[in-house]
């Protein structure tokens, strides 16, 4: 029998409204242009479609820019430019390619504050996250892959790496600039050229990035960026000049891409959805675990494919964890993404907000118990309060479907075997978390959990040298590390 945990009820200092935070808005200019064209062959190019669409800031619902809508002819032009640039770029010595990547990384650092503000305005995430996570890690990926560019001979000992050719890349809206770095950096390090499509709701920082490519002196055609919605992405996927497609996004779209490319010789890597289990054992340090739970689900408003959206708690400490978690949630600040005090910013789009509301409604209909702290949501923009459901079973939609929002589902377990069974009872397999004081239990659980990335006594830690990716309906292939690099090369 495990020793009983001493009762240590959570205490809270109540000050009412005596000490309210003063607003701390970020004032750095974002330098967002009123209109962005396409970036093809090293220069800004008006779309052949002669159409643009509005980019809306989720923080206040206002239009911030117009984005070019690329059609098939525009995608053709982008691939033609990439194909023309490939022979010279692939023949460029690795040390020289690395210099370009180093320049890009340094330029991102030099303009990090500007880009962080633009990312927050365009995507809705808190400025603290854009400033302290997205921009530093994006630059780190370019630095890391710059180091690989002249060392490819050591990536596969005894073999030689060769570039694939022109790579088509499609990135999501939750980490626009970071996903761009994850995709472009390894492709260029290996000598490939790129046609990239950002998400239609978050294209601004990708288009601003084009000025960094120009300032770095990257040869025309090596990177081309086309903007648009689903039809543009489909044209990127289907284009015959693509040697590989790299996609990060939803599982249904990933399945469509895999079906579309079946029977072709195109390579494919997919980083798709997730429904991660964050597992708390009775011997865990509860206060530390609560902070990890909050970070795991409320970081970036839950717009994270590896979010710890299923919390599995051992029954003996479930009540304590729930009480402390509710107390912690009462202190989360929801509001203006540009305010440095904000913990949870705006939902990325009205469409995503409606999806979150629908799934939360299903949790209520199916009998789960909801908790939302009292918080005043801004009157303009797209916002949703941090939410948790207790009394959740595996049959509930909120325990099975990816919500992609600030919503946590709590389940309980008695034994490690039950925790493994519940954690693996999902079509996804991207990530998981383990909270325990026993190193042997961490190793045992990690071997049994069907997930590509497993954190122990922490959550949402990323490093360019560490591969990221999943199994099952979470996709295949890796981003980052030597493994991610090899996905952009032929081993000959």
Q: Give CA separation, 304 vs 133, 250, 375, in Å.
A: 13, 11, 23
Q: What is the DSSP letter of 33?
A: -
Is residue 111 within 8 Å of residue 212, measured between CB atoms? yes
List the beta bridge partners of residue 162.
Answer: 490
Q: Exactly one of 26, 305, 401, 473 is catalytic; which is it?
A: 305
Handedness of CA 190, 194, 200, 206 (dihedral sign): positive
d(CA 87, CA 34): 36
Task: Spell out the residues 6+ positions from residue 13 whose beta carbon is closer than 8 angstroms to its own.
Answer: none
Write out the two tokens for 358: 């629908």
Burial grade of 13 (CB within 10 A; 0-12, 13-18, 19 or more): exposed
Q: Give CA separation, 252 vs 22, 171, 304, in Å.
A: 43, 15, 16
List the beta bridge partners of residue 197.
Answer: 170
Question: Does residue 305 have an active-site annotation?
Answer: yes
Q: Give CA separation, 69 vs 78, 230, 268, 273, 288, in Å.
A: 13, 11, 25, 26, 46
* Matching residue, tokens 């959740």: 392
Residue 155: CB atoms within 10 A of its CB come to 18
Question: Does residue 271 have an active-site annotation?
Answer: yes
Helix, strand, or coil (residue 164): coil
d(CA 454, CA 469): 11
Q: Exactly one of 129, 200, 271, 401 is catalytic; which is it?
A: 271
* Matching residue, tokens 């009394």: 391
Is residue 133 within 8 Å of residue 140, measured between CB atoms? no
Write out the two tokens for 463: 């490093």
Burial state string for 210-239 with b = 16 or more CB within 10 A and e = fewer than 16: bebbeebebeebbbbbbbbeeebbbbbbbb
Write out the two tokens for 201: 């709701």
Q: What is the DSSP letter of 63?
A: E
d(CA 230, CA 223): 21
d(CA 285, CA 333): 25
d(CA 314, CA 294): 18
Which of the residues are catalytic?
Answer: 271, 305
């Amino acid at each position: 029998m495990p020793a009983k945990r001493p009762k240590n009820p959570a205490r809270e200092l109540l000050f009412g409204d005596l000490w309210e935070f003063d607003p701390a808005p970020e004032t750095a200019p974002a330098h967002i242009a009123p209109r962005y064209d396409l970036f093809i062959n090293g220069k800004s190019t008006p779309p052949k479609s002669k159409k643009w669409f509005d980019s809306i800031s989720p923080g206040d619902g206002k239009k911030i820019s117009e984005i070019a809508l690329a059609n098939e002819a525009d995608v053709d032009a982008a691939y033609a430019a990439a194909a023309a640039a490939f022979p010279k770029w692939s023949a460029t010595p690795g040390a020289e390619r690395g210099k370009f990547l180093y320049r890009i990384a340094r330029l991102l650092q030099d303009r990090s504050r500007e880009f962080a503000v633009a990312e927050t305005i365009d995507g809705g995430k808190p400025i603290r996250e854009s400033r302290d996570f997205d921009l530093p890690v994006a630059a780190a990926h370019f630095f890391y892959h710059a180091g690989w560019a002249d060392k490819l001979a050591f990536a596969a000992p005894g073999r030689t790496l060769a570039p694939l050719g022109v790579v088509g890349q499609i990135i999501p809206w939750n980490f626009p600039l970071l996903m761009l770095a994850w995709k472009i950096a390894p492709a260029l390090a290996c000598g490939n050229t790129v046609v990239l499509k950002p998400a239609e709701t978050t294209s601004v920082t990708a288009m601003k990035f084009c000025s960094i490519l120009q300032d770095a002196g990257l040869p025309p055609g090596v990177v081309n960026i086309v903007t648009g919605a689903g039809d543009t992405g489909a044209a990127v996927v289907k284009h015959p000049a693509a040697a590989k497609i790299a996609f990060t996004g939803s599982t249904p779209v990933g399945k469509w891409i895999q079906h579309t490319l079946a029977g072709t010789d195109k390579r494919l890597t997919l980083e798709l959805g997730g429904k991660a289990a964050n597992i708390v054992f009775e011997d865990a340090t509860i206060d530390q675990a609560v902070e990890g739970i909050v970070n795991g689900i409320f970081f970036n408003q839950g717009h994270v494919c590896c979010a710890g959206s299923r919390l599995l708690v051992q029954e003996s400490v479930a009540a304590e964890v729930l009480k402390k978690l509710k107390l912690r949630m009462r202190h989360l600040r929801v509001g203006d993404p540009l305010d440095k005090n904000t913990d949870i910013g705006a939902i990325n789009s009205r469409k995503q907000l409606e999806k979150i509301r629908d799934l939360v409604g299903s949790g209520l209909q199916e009998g789960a118990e909801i908790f939302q702290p009292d918080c005043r949501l801004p009157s303009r923009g797209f916002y949703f309060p941090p939410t948790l459901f207790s009394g959740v079973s595996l049959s509930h939609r909120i325990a099975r479907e990816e919500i992609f929002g600030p919503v946590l589902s709590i389940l309980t377990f008695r034994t490690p075997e039950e925790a493994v069974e519940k954690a693996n009872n999902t079509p996804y397999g991207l990530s998981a978390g383990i909270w325990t004081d026993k190193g042997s239990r961490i190793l045992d659980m990690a071997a049994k959990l069907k997930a590509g990335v497993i954190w122990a006594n922490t959550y949402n830690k990323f490093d360019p040298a560490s591969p990221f990716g999943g199994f099952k309906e979470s996709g295949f292939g890796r981003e980052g590390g030597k493994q991610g690099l090899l996905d952009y090369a032929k081993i000959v």
